Structure formats: C-alpha cells, structure tokens
A and B are shown apart, each in its own frame.
Chain A
Amino acid sequence: MTSSQAVQVSGVSRTFGGRKGASVTALESVDLTVAPGEFVSLIGPSGCGKSTLLRLIADLDTPTSGELSVFGKPARQARVDQDYGIAFQQAGLLPWKTVTGNIELPLALHGAGRSERKGRVKELLELIGLADFAGHYPDQLSGGMQQRVAIARALAESPKLLLMDEPFGALDEMTRERMQNELVRICAETQAAVVFVTHSIPEAVFLSDRVVVMSPRPGRITDVIDVSLGGPAERDDSLREDEAFFRAVAKVREALHGVPVTGARGVDSR
C-alpha cells in the first residue's frame, strides 16, 4: 500500500537546534500522503515549515523523528535514483550556461548521450514555449522565462514527482497566472505528482487537487482541503471567475485563519 504512494510522510518532526539550547520546532508530527499524479499545495504563514517539509522530502535535510518515503523508498534512495525534479523560488540557473545547457544539466551530469540530450531538450523547449531561446544566456531572459527554464530543468529526467518551493513567488501577477496555466498543462502532459509550496491562496486553489494548510510554532498541518476543480481541460482563465473557484478560495482562507470568515469583513479572527 505504502509503495503505491508518491510521497508518504508519517509522524515527521524536525527541530533545529539553536544557540544556547534555544531550539526551533519547524515541524511537529506531520502526516501527509501524496498519490501518484496528484497535485498537492502547501500553504501557510511564513515560518510554518513549508520549505522544511519540502526539503525533507527532497532529502536536502533529514527529519529529527518520523518516517518518510518517496515511491516506497527512503528519501535518500529516491534522491539518488533521481525520482523527483525540484524547482526553487530563485530560478537558480547557471549563468555561464545557455538555456539548452541549463536544461540538459541533470542529463549531462548523469551521463546521458549527446543525441538523447538534444532530443529531450527540444521537447522541453517546446513544452515551455522557449524554442527560440535555446542559445540565450540566463541574463538575457526575463524572470518568468528563467523560471520556465528552471521548470524544464526539473522535468528533464521525466520525474514522476515534482517538488516546487514558491517557484512563481518572484513573478508579477500576470506572468504568474500564465505560468500557472502552463503548469496545469505540463502536469497533465507529464502525469507527475507535485508538491507545491505557495503563499497565494488563489494559486493553490487553481492548481491543486488538495490544499494542505499549515500553522506555525510548532509547524503542523491543520487542515487538508479537497479542491479538485476538474481536469486540466476545464482549468483555464475562466475558472478563475468561477463560483466554485471562489468558494474553494474562501474555504482555504477560513482554514488558514482558523475561524469561519462569515461575510462581514473586518471581523477579527482572534
């Protein structure tokens, strides 16, 4: 049963030891399951441990206690096996490599042949709509283009799991919505499961099958909201003005604030 899940987190805690004995409990007994092909967003106030959870799944950090598996394997094994692709808030492209060089970086590092890389890069460039920019350097691209290249790089080895930490955080609202549309399309095409960290409620609702709401000090999951606003075909700009969309947004907002927000504005939720 476990092995069929993309991500299985059970009872995971992570405590950072500070100076003079002061320690921060970034995560406390967190349970989370992500099914193959499922899109799950993590949302919550700053410092609630979203990035920490993502880094644990990516094996960039290890839990203080608890169990964590990715495709039924320990996180370390999944990392070594390249079972996931990752994208961060900063595009993190290598400035001395072209768009092509950046996208094929994981392939090159793992010894893929020249022709294989060439074919894959071509597909990915088409996927992100930057076929004309193959030879450009990162400093010749806009922020949104850089981020798209970073996503293509994360997809290069066709991972069945994508980990994304606020990948659109630095983009303007218009670019952001366009990128969201593209991400929905890309996910539909690649069938990858996604764990997506965001600060934006509409973004989480638009993209996700489920939205995981977290609260800080100590970081824990307080709510999981089923959104599932339909398949990729229905998820376009018109969805953003849909009644169901607004209802889901309100639901996530209520979960975030901890108290039902009843029509009246300005009601202090504490």
Chain B
Amino acid sequence: MTRRSAPLGRLALGALGIAAVVAVWEGYKALAPDTGVVIGGTTVLPRSTETAMPHVWDMVSRLSDPVIGTVGGDTMWQTVLDAGLFTLKIAAFGWIIGVVVGFVLALVMQRFTIAEAAVLPWIVLSQTVPLIAIAPLVRRWGSQITIGGFEWQSEHSVAVIAAYLAFFPVAVGVLRGLKAPDATHVDLMHTYGIGWWRTLFSLRLPASVPFLIPALRLAAASAVIGTVVAEVSIGLRGGVGRLIIEYAQSASSDPAKPWAPIFAAIAVGLVAAAFVGLLGLALKPYRRSEIPA
C-alpha cells in the first residue's frame, strides 16, 4: 500500500465498520420477534420493539427535533452538543491533572526503588475502590476547601474523579517506559558522566514514548468515562451524564431520545482519542524501534 492511500483506506474501513453495526442492528430488528428470543423463561436476545430498539434513522432524525414537544426550544443536537462540550472540558481538565499526577508518580517510583515498593501497591489498590464510594467523599472534602476567592464547585469534584481514573494508566505505563532502556544505554549514559536528570531527558523520556502513547489513550478514555459517571454520582447538571439519566426516563414515550446523549458521549470519547492520536503523530520520531544487530 502506498502512503497516500493508507489514511483513506483506514477511513473507508472505519465507515465500513459503522455500516456493519447499523446493518446488524437493523437486520436483527427486521428478523427477530418483537418479544426477543426467550429460552426457558430467560430472554437470551433482546426485544426488537420500537421502544427497545428504535430504528437507526429515527435516532439520527431525533437529533434535529426540539428537545421537548414539537415546537420551540433548542433542537436536540444543540442540547447534546452543549452537554458534550461541557463534559469534554471537564474530562480534558481531569485528564491533564491525571497525566501530571501519573507522570510525577512514575518519575518518583523510577528514581527511588523504595518509593516503587511503597507506592505501587496503593496505586493498584486505588483503582479497586468503586467510583460511587469516592464521589461523595471528594465532594465533602472539596467543599471544605476555600483558598482566597477560590470556591470548590461540583465541576471540580467531577474533574478530580476523572483524574482519579486517568492517572492510573499513566503512572503504570510511564513507569514501564522509564524502565525500558537497555542496560547498555544506561551504562553508556553513566560513562558520559551525566546525572539522573540529564539521563532522564536524553534517554528515559524518549525511550518511554512507545509506552506513553497507549497510556495517554487509556487515560483519555478513563477520563471521559469517569466524567460521565461522576456527573451522575455528584449530580452535576449540564453534562452528558446528567442527560443520559434524564432522557432515559422518556424512553417509553420517545424511544429515540435516550440515544442522543449516548452519541454525544461517544463523540466526546472520539475527540479525546483523536487528540491523543495527534500527540502520537507529533512524537512519531520517538516511536522507532531499534532492530537488534
């Protein structure tokens, strides 16, 4: 394949993937009985009614209708776009905090072996605490913070929770990356008589890039999920998380409606992934791997 056709080919593959999902959805709807497939009293395949599985085109066309009723007010796509941007902003904020914290933790763990032994188990443990349990804690602690004119908002709680999910892949991935250089490379830097900091910048950081990019991508996905879930847990209005809960209530009367914020959540995830993809492109020179002699 030539360089020129590669991105186009990938775009075509992506479109094909979406088309396949739509085809499966509509195909199932057309073929499956309305009651779904029930074996021995257990529903093994979902109902295919209009309420359970609206047509894809209904979901799409619903986006251009007003949110409530039939006249006046914002259209659906405007509302979910606003919500998506709101969520994206918080997720990006959480992602940045998470990346910084994860990076610092990884650096400390690489520098001090004792720190790794002491901190790494806690880092792993931190991810086993359910979000539902953290959300109220973060809000309570946050509300006690007042520095100067700064006042803790629910947005901040949500961003902190997103960061809480995002820092983990970064800490683990970057630590692996910082340890990635061969013994030969480390010895070489030692013979050059340069210290830890300069070795970090000349060797360890560049060598960690192949581990960094996947870690950042995972962190971005975690930050988006964390934001949406935390919006619900904290009860923050304005974002996609709240809309998902709100619109789910009108599922029976307006089955296409709950899908709109879900699309928004997906779009936010795609934007986040695309941003990391761009970062990966910028760091491409560092992603070459040496072919052993």
Q: Give the B-binding residues of A (Cβ under 8 A).
A: 55, 58-60, 79-80, 82, 84, 86, 88, 90-96, 105-106, 109-110, 137-139, 143-144, 146-147, 170-171
Contact = CB atoms under 8 A, between A and B. Distances in A.
A90 B192 contact: no
23 contacts: A58-B191, A79-B191, A79-B193, A82-B192, A86-B191, A88-B188, A90-B292, A91-B293, A92-B184, A94-B203, A94-B206, A95-B290, A96-B286, A105-B192, A106-B192, A137-B288, A138-B290, A138-B291, A143-B292, A143-B293, A144-B293, A170-B292, A170-B293
A109 B191 CA distance: 11
A223 B267 CA distance: 73
A164 B31 CA distance: 73
A162 to B, nearest CB: 12
A96 B180 CA distance: 14
A60 B291 contact: no
B290 A109 contact: no
A88 B187 contact: yes
A110 B288 CA distance: 25
B290 A139 contact: yes
Contact of A60 (B191, B206, B285, B286): B191
A228 B190 CA distance: 33
A90 B293 contact: yes
A144 B292 CA distance: 11
Contacts of B187: 55, 58, 60, 86, 88
Contacts of A60: 187, 190-191
Interface of B: 182, 184-185, 187-188, 190-194, 198, 202-203, 206, 209, 285-293
Contacts of A94: 185, 203, 206, 290
A140 to B, nearest CB: 9
A88 B290 contact: no
A128 to B, nearest CB: 15
Contacts of A138: 288, 290-291
B30 to A, nearest CB: 51
Given A92-B182, A109-B198, A139 B291 contact: yes
Given A60-B187, A88-B184, A96 B292 contact: no
Given A58-B191, A79-B191, 7 more contacts: A82-B193, A88-B188, A95-B289, A96-B206, A96-B286, A138-B290, A139-B291
Contacts of A55: 187
A59 B190 CA distance: 9
B184 A96 contact: no
Contacts of A95: 288-290
Contacts of A109: 192, 194, 198, 202
A171 B187 CA distance: 22
B289 A86 contact: no
A171 B289 contact: no
Nearest to A98: B285
- What are the 9 A-B residue pairs with the smallest beta carbon separation, nearest first? A143-B293, A92-B184, A95-B290, A96-B286, A95-B288, A139-B291, A80-B193, A170-B293, A88-B184
B285 A90 contact: no
Contacts of A91: 293
Nearest to A137: B288
A59 B192 CA distance: 11
Given A60-B187, A139-B289, A110 B192 contact: yes
A80 B198 CA distance: 15
A60 B184 CA distance: 11
B293 A146 contact: yes
A240 B21 CA distance: 70
A82 B185 CA distance: 17
Contacts of B194: 109
Nearest to A146: B293
Contacts of B192: 82, 105-106, 109-110
Nearest to B203: A94
A59 B193 CA distance: 10
Given A86-B191, A96-B206, A109-B202, A147 B288 contact: no
